[in-house]
Each structure stands twice: as C-alpha cells, then as structure tokens.
Amino acid sequence: MPTHDKPEEHSGLSRRGFLKTVGAGTVAGGLVRESGGAATVAAQGPEVAGPAAIPLKLSINGNTHSLNVEPRVTLLDALRNYLDLTGSKKVCDRGTCGACTVLLDGKPVYSCTLLAVEAQGHKITTIEGLGSPEELSAMQSAFVEHDAQQCGFCTPGFVVACTAFVKDHPNATLEEVRAGLGGNLCRCGTYHGITEAVLQVAKGGA
Amino acid sequence: MAKNAWPAADKRDLIGERISRLDGPVKATGHAKYAYDMNRPGMLYVRLVWAPYGAAKIQSIDTSAAKAIKGVAGVWNEMNEGDEIVHAGQIVATVAATSEEIAQEAWRAVKVAYEVKQPQMNDTVLENADEKEQRDEIPDAATVDKAYADAEVKIDGHYGLAPITHCCMEAHGQFAEMKDGDQYIWPSTQNVSAYAAGLTDAAGLPASQIHVDCQYMGGGFGSKFSSDQWGAICSRISKETGKPVKLMLERDQELMVAGARPSAFANVKAGATKDGKITVFDSTCWGSGGMGTSRGLGVPYVFGNVPNIRRVARNVRTNRGSQRAWRAPGHPQACLVTMAALDDLAAAANMDALEFFLKNLDLTERPDVYREELQIAADMIGYKEKAHLRGDSGDGPVKRGLGISIHMWGGGGHKSECNCTINPDGSVSVALGTQDLGTGTRTVVGIVTAETLGLPLKRVQVNIGKDQYPPSGASGGSTTVGGVSSSSRDAATNALNMLLEKVAPSLGVPVDQLEAWDGKIQVIGDPSKSVTWEKACSMLGQIPITGKGSKPTSDGTELDNSGVGGVQMADVSVDTETGRVTINEFVAVQDCGLIIDLKTAESQVYGAMIMGVTYALYEEAIYDPITGRMLNADMEFYRLAGLADVGTLKVHMMTGPGYDERGVIGLGEPPVISPGAAISNAVANACGVRVPTLPLTPDRVIAALEQGGKLA
C-alpha cells in the first residue's frame, strides 16, 4: 500500500514561501529600508527581511502603531492578532469574501491578501475608523435603519466597501450598486437591506 | 392586574412595528465581539491536523518536528496508529502555539502516513443505498399502481438536490480561559444554555464551573448546536496548559466537517385527472447524510392528502462528514421533489401552474391561507401579465418563465425561563439564557418587555447570551421567538403585577384596574389618574422586584402557536445558449402569527430567499471520488450568491385579523424551504424542460436542454 503525507495547502505555496521566492525582489524591496538590523541579506540578489520579526510602523485610523511581526504576517492578522482591531473579519482568508475589507489610502482592499509590511507608508482605515456605536457614520446609520445585517460577521467589511463605493459613485444607481459591490459575500442574506442602505446614502439614488 | 395575553392592536405601541435591531450599531461599527475576536495576552492558537482522505487507516503520526518548533506549546494525537478514517476532515492531531503563524508552521510539520482505501462517495444512484436503512410506507401497493395506471395525465420524473454545506461566515470554534479554577468559554453557538454540558469531560470540571458567554455569533443555520469535538479540544488544552486558548476551524475544514445538508434524490410517478386534480403520488427517495443517516422525505409535501401515496425511502452511506441540521431539515428537499413533480404534472395536463395549485389546495392542511397567499404573490409578481404555458416563451435564446412553490412549518416556541427585574430607580432589566443568531432575538425580548411595561424600548436592558441567566432552549426549528416572547411577556407581566400591588393604594383603585402605558401607571384608560413610572418604582423602597416568567407561561396562557404556510414565486431568465439562469424578480408571502418586530421579520424572509437563490443556482459540495476530499472547500468554488445575483426581492408578511390572534410563531425555517422549487419551476417554465437536479448550474441546464428541450 502506498503511503501519503499530509497534503500542502491548496496552492501548494504558503504565503511565507511566496514571500521568500517571489517577494524577495518585489515585496521585500520596500521593507528593507525600514527594517534595519533585523533584515537579512540573501546570498544573491536584493536584501530580504525575516523570517524573524521585524519592526513595522502602520498608520491606522489616524494613529501610528509600532509593532514587531514576521514579514509573512498579513495586514489582517496584524490588525486582529497584534493590534486587537478585530472589526475586520477573517472568513475565506484568500481574497474572495471581502469580510476583511479595509481602506488603503481611501481605496478598498482585502487585508487578508496584503502583507502588513506592504501597508507601511499608506493610510489605513479600518471599520473602527469610520464611526462608533455612539457616533455612527452615514453608511453605518443606513445599515442600521435598513437592517442590512443579521449575524453581523460580514457587516464591517460591507460597511467599509460600501463607504468607499459611495464616495466613488455619489449618484449610484441600482445597477451600479449591483455591479460595484460584488466583492463582498454574506451568508445570512442581507443584500436587500445593503442595497437599500447604499442607495439611501448615495445622493440621487433611485 | 395585567394579563399575560398579547395586547389588542390598539394597545400595541411597539409590537408589530418596524424597529431597528438593538445591536445594529455595535455590529455596523465592528465593535461586536465574536468568539473569533477574543484576544488575551499569552493566548494559544490551536490548529487541527485533519485527514485528507475519505477512507484510510492511519499508519503513523510523527509530531516530533512540530514539537521542536520554538513557540509550540503542545502537540497532541487525537487519533492513533491503526485508527480508521471514515471521512475527510477527521481530526488526527492538534497543535497549539503562541502565534497563528507558528501554529500554521507546526500544523504543516506534523507528518501523518495513511494506508489509503477506496471511499464510497456516489450518492446519486439508488443502487448504492443500504437496504437495511429503509423506511417504506406502502399502504396498499395494488391500489397505488392502479391509480397511476388509470391516471388520465401522468409523469415519471427524476429530481434531486446536491449536498450543500452551511458555510457560516464565522467558522465553528470557541475561546476558553481559566480563572480561579473555573473555565470561561466564549463559543459561537446556537445553544448557550446547554453548551457547557458538552465540555465537562474535556475540561475536567462540573458544568457549574464552566461559564458560557456568547453575545454575538457569526451564523449557524442549524450547524452550531453542540460544543463539538473541537470545543472539547479547546477546553482540554486550556485546562491542561492554564492558558487562554482560541480554536476556530480553518475555512476548508469548516466547509468539510462543520456543515452538511443531506443530498436528496427521487423518482416520482404522479398522476392527475385531465382537468388537473391530483390522484396519485408514488415516490422512491434516497439521499446521503454522509456518515449520518438521511431520514427520507415527507412527500408529497404540503399536499399530504393526495388519495394514493406510496413512499419508498433509502439511505446512502457515503464517506463524507455527518449531516447537520440545515434550516428546515428535510423540507427544502421534500418541497423540491413535490412541487417540481406537481409542476411537471400541470405542464403534462397543459394547465397553468397557478390554476393547478389552486385547484388542489383542498389536499393541503391550510387551503384558505395558501389561496390568499397565492393571490397576493401573483399580484406582486404580475403573474397574469407574465404567465405562459411551459416552454411557450417566444423566440430568441433567452427565455423567461415563472415558477411557484408553497411550503409549511411548525414553529412553536421552545422551553424558556426569564427574569424581569424592576429597580427602585425605574431601570428595568430582563435576563434569559437565549442567543441572538442575527435573527433579532435580543430585540424581540426588549420589545416584548418594554411593551408590557409601557416603556420605550431604550429603557429596557436586555441580558442574553450567558448560561448564568435562566435557561432557554437552543435556537433551532424556528422555536426561539415563540419561546422567548412567551417567557419575557410572562416575566414582565409578573414583575408589573408586583409593582401594581405597591402602587394601587396611592391611586385608590384595585390592582386589576391599573395598567402600564406610555411611561405611567394609570387607571385603565384614564391618564389623569396616574403616577409616572419613576414615581411608581420609587414606591418599591430599596429592594428591586423580579418577576419570573417561562414558556409554558406561569398561568398557562398560550402566547405562541405552531403551523404556518408560505408561497413563493420566481421570475427567471434562462440563456439557452450558455445555460445561465438569472433571477429577475422573486416574491415571498409568509404568515407567522403575531409579528413582534416587522423589520427583522422581513429580514428573515429576504435572507432566506437569498440563501435559497444560492442553493438553487450555485451551491454544491463537490467530493473527489478517488480521495474522498471536498474539492471546493473554499469560497471561490463553493459559490455563494453575491449582491448582483439575487434580482429584485419582494416580501409580504400576512398580518392583522386572522393572523395576529394566533400568537407568536417562528420564522427562521419557513421562507428558506420554497426557493429551490420555485426557481426550478420557473426555469422549467422558461426553457420547456425540467432541469432535474439543484443547483441549476449552466452545465446542468445545457445537459437538460440537449436531452429533452424543445428549444435547445
């Protein structure tokens, strides 16, 4: 009988492996300048950081956070596990569902597919930066009013994505809402309320 | 003396209104803390090593490399050499580490060798059924055979639904920590009050020393009733290491083992008179709940009074994880099999489907309700203008069609206990060990309590989600709203009556002539003889009062009920060149007795319709016949509907006389039952041929068109 080892992850390539092989020239290029003594020098080619933890500075919701994480840590894991900013959720962990959506310089990105080191030098806005239960943003308020949430686990990602969408589409139509918000998924089925909320916030919406 | 009975319509200030959920702001801002969000200094992250084969024997488990990694707190064998694997995703070993990254590295370093065997994965053919697991109901075979032979119109059809998985956004799991010898648990659960009972062995503690807190949970849909093996592992590691421990399933394992709706397949022979009266329904059903047993289907569904019925039911055992209750267990399957077969029968009789359904409503338990709901749904979707006979959908490759389905559910309340406390300063709190799955349970409890006490909703502090509160049932089978609305009404009424006793002397009337209304205690109907709520509560002296309530209620008043019907109609387009199905419009008409919060009730229906579009068109757990592993255990290829996929949705709730006085009835299951059947029927109406199996993916649509479509 043949024996089989436990299989690799889906892609056969972990994020860490990816960073080591491809990222050495692309991703790590930017971080070496800030990583100081923790960076290591590859035998050939450009410098790479890690695998040990390196110091990072992240600008989040207007505050600068310093932390020490390994370069393989995603922005999502940095937010959740190292900074206790748990509003951004980990659901699919591979850039499909949008529950981890944050704004990078105002643009929505999946924080699960971005390394924390890559986010340095950018302005990061998480769900926690958009409003608070006592002071809801217009979009958050519309989500509450239109009951655009049930279990609430996808909600922060949706609120962030919808906030960015309306900023780019201030007069969004129903068709534009449907086409523009396909990057987030919900299991409870809150799309009806989300659509209503976005149309309310979008000026001149149908 | 306030009474337990629900107030009349003109005495309802909050009940039945559209009220925003109480926890909306904390959820919309990311402030709601789920089990997945728990962080503590020194917390261990756990990752589970799972078997990648549907059938295998473990030859060896080598954890030495994993144990050697710095930051690894422990590696445990959960199975041993020689143990048999019966489905992929079975937990073989566990690693715990100080960071998520190290846990992943250790997880990868555990080496398990397997002797791989051939799994049994095919549930689509009846030949694979286990003859021992059969539930046949054959009242009189000869009569059924004769009825089918004699039928003026008949069909012989095949229908099916692929297995799907729950795919909760928050994976299953829990957080555990030790404090002063007790264990504190934050789980993601549908069953707060009973959760600790499943952990006593693993934690080595009595249930009284295990404390459960679940304020928010990221979806369950029937898959999160127990603490499960992973909950026990989390508790055990926390007890053993003394550390805070977080264990949440990875997405692939979540899809493979933490959710499963059984597949269902059926061969149906049905007959009718030529003017469309159903005379016989003869079915052979089979399906697979993986390593669990599929229960067979209650067909013909809803039309249970068809004169000649035969049911043959078989279970197919496959090497998949065991089935879990998926919203309305067995009903979406039974509904598809029945409504599709009846729709085919209508087409065979060359009859309009709506006319056919209306004509046979006397074969259901609730003909008047269905008749009214069918007429409302038809108006909402523009049935008269859009309807056409099957396949008669004009030229061009894109065909448009309508489909109908009807469903039923029970939904009576579960057992529940509740305390309502009124404080001398006028503040009010209500406590019960229920949970809010996102259905709005927290808000319902608040509305009922506030209404009973004549207060604004914001004056009531609602305490749920902890097992230190009076116990309440698991949230399953649409039993929660009936249970908690009864117990909270009972508790608030009993608390109010204690308050009225104190207040009555100052107003100079007997207790039974007082009521709580609009922030006052007043003589019934006479606001001029009143005291403010605050003044009334100050008469309590220094000691708060607590009214106890329950379901069944303390005075035997029945505040809940059971038995609902619903109708759904879908308007779809089918591209006969690509096989792609598009939802244009989808309407639902639903009754559920007295509605407590119209806004969250409507949300339940919208949500169920969207979940229904997903299983009708996209969802399917696909397993590899060779390895037995789920091939699409991720969210790219296990497809959920997106915002653009669901079309225009319309919901109508049946309220008012005839419905309200029935009492409160649950709503989680009923509206998720019909979507598959309504959409399948609409596709058949559009393209002229039945696509037998859900999901109605382009390949299945094209295959059906090639085999029988007049329009292909």
CATH number for the domain harbouring residue B400 = 3.30.365.10
- Dist CA B334 CA B83 (whole Å): 37
Residues B510 and B580 in one domain: no
Residue of chain B whose Cα is closest to the Cα of A84: B39
pLDDT for position B138: 81
- What is the length of chain A? 206
Residues B440 and B541 in one domain: yes
Residues B74 and B200 in one domain: yes
Quote the percentage of chain B above a pLDDT of 90: 95
pLDDT for position A44: 64
Residue A117: list chain B partners with CB under 8 A: none
Residues B225 and B89 in one domain: yes
- Across the interface, whether the CB atoms of B49 and A93 are under 8 A apart is answered no
- Would residue B568 count as lying in a domain? yes
Statement: residue B393 has pLDDT above 90: no
Q: What is the C-alpha R_g of chain B?
A: 28
- Would residue A5 count as lying in a domain? no
Identify the weakest region by mean pLDDT among A9-13, B15-19, B345-349, B370-374.
A9-13
Residues A84 and A24 in one domain: yes
The pTM assigned to this predicted structure is 0.94
Label the pairing between strands B173-179 and B245-248.
antiparallel
Residues A123 and A163 in one domain: no
* Parent domain of B278: 264-411+562-708
Q: Which of B17, B20, B22, B29 to mutate to test the interface with A (most CBs of A within 10 A)?
A: B29
Identify the weakest region by mean pLDDT among B133-137, B164-168, B207-211, B390-394.
B133-137
pLDDT tens digits, B581-606: 999 999 999 999 999 999 999 999 99
pLDDT for position B394: 86
Statement: residue B690 has pLDDT above 60: yes
Q: Which residues pair with B391 in a beta bridge?
A: none
pLDDT tens digits, B343-367: 999 999 999 999 999 999 999 999 9
SS3 at position B176:
strand
Distance from CA of A64 to the nearest CA of B (A): 20
- Would residue B102 count as lying in a domain? yes
Using CA atoms, how far residue B523 sits from A105, A150, B81, B426, B540, in Å, is: 62, 40, 76, 19, 19
* Parent domain of A124: 15-129
Give mean pLDDT, residues B25-36: 98
Name B359's Cβ contacts closer than 8 Å, sequence gap at least 6: B275, B276, B277
- Dist CA B98 CA B71 (whole Å): 5
- Would residue A9 count as lying in a domain? no
Residue B502 parent element (H or E):
helix B480-507
Tokens in use for A182?
């396909």
- Would residue A10 count as lying in a domain? no
Distance from CA of A40 to the nearest CA of B (A): 20
Q: Which of A6, A60, A67, A110 to mutate to test the interface with B (most CBs of B within 10 A)?
A: A6
Residues A161 and A83 in one domain: no
CA atoms within 13 A on the CB side of A91: 31
pLDDT for position A43: 54
Name B8's Cβ contacts closer than 8 Å, sequence gap at least 6: none
Residues A144 and A107 in one domain: no
Q: Which residues pair with B131 in a beta bridge?
A: none
Cis bond leading into A71, ω under 30°? no
Query: Which B residues 565-594 touch A at CB under 8 Å?
Result: none
For the CA atoms of B344, B346, B347, B353, the dihedral, rounded to the nearest 10 degrees, stands at -100
pLDDT tens digits, B550-578: 999 999 999 999 999 999 999 999 999 99
Residue B104: list chain A partners with CB under 8 A: 14
Residue of chain A whose Cα is closest to the Cα of B597: A147
Residues B28 and B51 in one domain: no
Closest Cβ opposite residue B27 in set A8, A14, A149:
A149
Residue B642: list chain A partners with CB under 8 A: 181-182, 184-185, 191
Tokens in use for B709?
């479509």
E strand spans, B87-238: 91-97, 111-116, 130-134, 153-161, 173-179, 182-187, 210-212
Residues A86 and A172 in one domain: no
Residues B503 and B358 in one domain: no
- Across the interface, whether the CB atoms of B610 and A152 are under 8 A apart is answered no
- Is the pLDDT higher at A52 or at B242? B242
Residues of chain A by 3-state class (helix, strand, coil), percent to 5: 35, 15, 45
- Would residue A42 count as lying in a domain? yes
Tokens in use for B474?
């698991």
Residues A123 and A143 in one domain: no
ipTM over 0.90: yes
Other beta carbons less than 10 A from residue B280's beta carbon:
24
To 10 degrees, what angle do helices B331-348 and B675-687 make? Answer: 30
Distance from CA of A52 to the nearest CA of B (A): 12
Does the CB of B211 have a partner CB in chain A at under 8 Å?
A: no
Residues B405 and B427 in one domain: no
pLDDT for position B246: 98
Residues A123 and A145 in one domain: no
- Would residue B123 count as lying in a domain? no
- Across the interface, whether the CB atoms of B642 and A177 are under 8 A apart is answered no
Residue B614: list chain A partners with CB under 8 A: 189
**Cα torsion B680, B686, B690, B692: sign:** negative
Q: Say how many Å lie between the first and final Cα of chain A, rounded.
A: 65
- Dist CA B51 CA B45 (whole Å): 20
Asked if B14 contacts B457 with a C-beta cutoff of 8 angstroms, the reply is yes
Closest CA to B318 of B695, B55, B621: B55
Asked if B42 contacts B536 with a C-beta cutoff of 8 angstroms, the reply is no
Which domain CATH number covers B216?
3.90.1170.50
Residues A115 and A168 in one domain: no
Q: Which of A1, A54, A151 to mutate to test the interface with B (most CBs of B within 10 A)?
A: A151
Closest CA to A89 of B168, B101, B99: B168
- Dist CA B130 CA B133 (whole Å): 6
pLDDT tens digits, B281-293: 999 999 999 988 7
Label the pairing between strands A54-60 and A123-125.
parallel
- Would residue A7 count as lying in a domain? no
The phi and psi torsions of B485 (rounded to 5 degrees) equal -70, -35
Cis bond leading into B262, ω under 30°? no
Residues B375 and B297 in one domain: yes
Statement: residue B526 has pLDDT above 60: yes
Residue type for position B265: F
- Would residue B516 count as lying in a domain? yes
- Across the interface, whether the CB atoms of A92 and B635 are under 8 A apart is answered yes
Task: Look at chain A and report how many structural domains it folds into.
Answer: 2
- Would residue A1 count as lying in a domain? no
Residue A104 parent element (H or E):
strand A101-104
Query: Is residue B139 very low, low, confident or very high in pLDDT (cuts 50, 70, 90)?
Result: confident
pLDDT for position A18: 42
- Rounded to 5°, the CA angle B219-B224-B228 comes to 140
Which domain CATH number covers A102?
3.10.20.30
Residues A160 and A123 in one domain: no
- Would residue A8 count as lying in a domain? no
SS3 at position A64:
strand
**Cα torsion B83, B87, B91, B92: sign:** positive
- Would residue B113 count as lying in a domain? yes
Residues A44 and A87 in one domain: yes
By CB atoms closer than 10 A (0-12, 13-18, 19+), residue A17 is middle
Task: Look at chain B and report how many structural domains it folds into.
Answer: 3
Q: What is the C-alpha R_g of chain A?
A: 19
Does the CB of B437 have a partner CB in chain A at under 8 Å?
A: yes
Name B101's Cβ contacts closer than 8 Å, sequence gap at least 6: A16, A70, A72, A73, A77
Residues A122 and A147 in one domain: no
Residues A23 and A65 in one domain: yes
- Would residue A123 count as lying in a domain? yes
Residue B649 parent element (H or E):
strand B648-654
Give mean pLDDT, residues A39-45: 52
Residues B326 and B347 in one domain: yes
pLDDT for position A9: 39
Which domain CATH number covers A165?
1.10.150.120
Residues B344 and B474 in one domain: no
Last residue of a domain, one of B493, B525, B551: B551
Asked if A75 contacts A60 with a C-beta cutoff of 8 angstroms, the reply is no
Residues B187 and B51 in one domain: yes
Query: Which B residues 115-174 touch A at CB under 8 Å?
Result: 115-116, 167-171
pLDDT for position A205: 45
- Across the interface, whether the CB atoms of B438 and A152 are under 8 A apart is answered yes
- Dist CA A48 CA B309 (whole Å): 72
Using CA atoms, how far residue B542 sits from B271, B424, B507, in Å, is: 73, 6, 21
- Dist CA B116 CA B11 (whole Å): 68
Identify the weakest region by mean pLDDT among B50-64, B123-137, B156-170.
B123-137
Statement: residue A33 has pLDDT above 60: no
pLDDT tens digits, B242-285: 999 999 999 999 999 998 999 999 999 999 999 999 999 999 99
Residues B519 and B571 in one domain: no
Distance from CA of B638 to the nearest CA of A (A): 11
Residue B603: list chain A partners with CB under 8 A: 147, 150, 190, 193
- Would residue B283 count as lying in a domain? yes
